[in-house]
Structure 1
């Protein structure tokens, strides 16, 4: 269980109900996704997990769990939080499509930019 001061901080009244989604592996707590439930969606506030299980992608699992929770609650949106286009540590957010970003005036859909396919060299003539 998180320390009381952390619960106090994350439990501040931000305009919705704060949920602590716990992730367990057998009898060990391995992660928590602090999630606000708002009128039109969920907001992924903060996720923390045991660094020993990082190779199991607990952050991705947390987002997938939040997406499923939003569907069960009939909420149309999951807000993944602040995003900086050029910040590599935040790039994982763009893998969840469709994605919208605030451009300062309104929300706009971002198109997933795929890398161009590798060019294959034409086969060598046997002659």
Structure 2
């Protein structure tokens, strides 16, 4: 007989490793498991406390001398796209966002592989195989969806091309963008920005107040784009504080 784990989650601390965002720094993470019947509620609670999900793990930075990683979430009801954001929406007016189950495909992995090779060739995910990708998409005990972004194929009338995808968790108070990737040769479209704008609109239609974007790190070029989505809230020592 399979038993549910004890009600109180057990937390663990990783060993120090090089920080992927700021040079000459070490990072540590505190993490716990998201499994069984408790996973959905626990994921909601931990997200409010600044945790992120990766498969069946919820984690948060726990660096001894650094607090640079800041959880951020967009205030959906008050968000109004700027002129630049409206331009991005116009550039992607032909895209169709299709919400599906978390079922990995070879087409998705091909796009994922192209994205990693072009933008994160030396990152921690660079060596992910199709099996690793499948685990990232499928291995979840919470309510998740995969949103595919497709455009008409100019070479095959009636067919579509996969240009982007986002693994998204549905929380009690918002949408959490767990991981997104897109075609690296479509820079004109600003697909990363578009997918965030699309998720804000999806949350609005669902009546959800927030879109969680993960961590923002001041001084990191990789994370700078997240600060543009205003108004937003950032998690600090006094809780969630409004910015913008």
Q: Shorter-chain TM-score category?
A: 0.7 to 0.9
**After superposition, what is the alpha-carbon deviation per residue over 1:47-93, rounded to whole angstroms, capped at 9, x for unaligned?**
10111112210011100110011011110000011110111221111
**Greater relative contact order (CA < 8 Å, ≥ 6 in sequence):** 2
Which runs of 5 or more structure 1 residues have no equivalent in the other structure? 112-127
Deviation at 1:11, TM superposition (A): 3.4
**Where in structure 2 are there 5+ consecutive unaligned residues?**
1-104, 109-129, 153-159
Q: 1:11 — aligned with what?
A: 138
Give SS of 2:226's match: helix
Is the 2:216–2:227 contact (alpha carbons within 8 Å) kept by the matching residues of 1? Answer: no
Please state if 1:96 is matched with 2:233: no
RMSD of Structure 2 on Structure 1 (CA): 1.6
Tell which deviates more after alignment, 2-11 or 78-87: 2-11
Instruction: Give the structure-2-normalised TM-score.
Output: 0.42
Displacement, 1:9?
1.7
Alignment-derived partner of residue 76 in structure 1? 209
Cα deviation 1:23-65 (Å, max 9, x = unaligned)? 1111100110111111110001111011111221001110011
How do 1:1-127 residues align onto structure 2 when only pairs under 5 Å count? 1=105, 2=108, 3=130, 5-13=132-140, 16-26=142-152, 27-111=160-244
Cα distance, 1:5 vs. partner?
3.8
C-alpha deviation, 1:4, in angstroms: 5.4
Give 1:17 deviation, angstroms. 1.4
Partner Cα distance (1:74, 1:107) in 2? 20
Q: Match for residue 123 of structure 1?
A: none
**Number of corresponding residues:** 110
**TM-score under structure 1 normalisation?**
0.78
**Counterparts of 2:140 and 2:185 in 1: how far apart (Å)?**
32
Cα separation, 2, equivalents of 1:97 and 1:90: 15
Q: Does structure 1 conserve the Cα–Cα contact (< 8 Å) formed by 2:147 and 2:165?
A: yes
Larger radius of gyration: 1
